[in-house]
Amino acid sequence: MKAITERGIQAFTLNALRIVTGFLIAPHGAQKLFGVLGKDPVDSIFSLSGVAGVLEFFGGVALIFGIFTRQVAFVLSGLMAAAYWMAHGTEAFWPIVNQGELAALYCFVFLFLSAQGGGGFSLEGWIQHRR
C-alpha cells in the first residue's frame, strides 16, 4: 500500500478545488442565461449580466473538465473583482457588511487556479501526459 504523500494530497486537493469551484460557479451562469434555478434569464447576452452569465456558465464547465484552466480562471478572477467593486464595494468597505464575500472569495480562488493550472486529473493533464 502506497503511503499518502504531501504531493499526492496537494494534487488531490487542487483537482477537487477546481472541480467544485466550477460546479459552484456554473449555476450562477445558468441562472442568468437559461432562467433556471429560481431566476429569470437576462434580456440579452450582450448586457453586463449576459456576458457574466456566459463567462460563469461556460467557464465553470471548462473548470470542471480542466480545459484552458489558467486562462479561464484568470478571466473569471477579473470578472469577480469587477462584480465585487461594481455591486458590493461601493456600499461599504467590509465584505461582511456589503455582502461581497462570495465575489471576493471566488476572485481569489480563481486567481489561485490561474497560477496553479488544472492539475493532473484534468483534460489538460491528460493531454500533457499523452505527449
Convert the pLDDT of each residue in 115-131 to its tens digit.
Answer: 999 888 888 888 887 77
- Give the cell for residue 82: 469587477
Take residue 110 and report the three cell numbers written for it: 480563481
Alpha carbon distance 125, 66 (integer Å): 8
Residue 79, C-alpha cell as written in the block:
470578472
Higher pLDDT, 7 or 60: 60
Q: What is the pTM of this model?
A: 0.90
Q: List helix spans (H) across 35-100.
A: 48-65, 69-83, 95-98
pLDDT of res. 83: 95
Integer Cα distance of 61 and 70 in angstroms: 14
Q: pLDDT digits over 1-36, tens only?
A: 466 788 888 989 999 999 999 999 999 999 999 999
Cα–Cα dist 18/73, whole Å: 9
Residue 95 phi, psi dihedral angles, 5° rounding: -55, -35
CB neighbour class for 31 (10 Å; exposed up to 12, middle 13-18, buried from 19): buried
| Total Cβ atoms within 10 A of residue 60 | 22
User: What grid cell was written down for 81?
Assistant: 473583482
Total residues belonging to the chain? 131
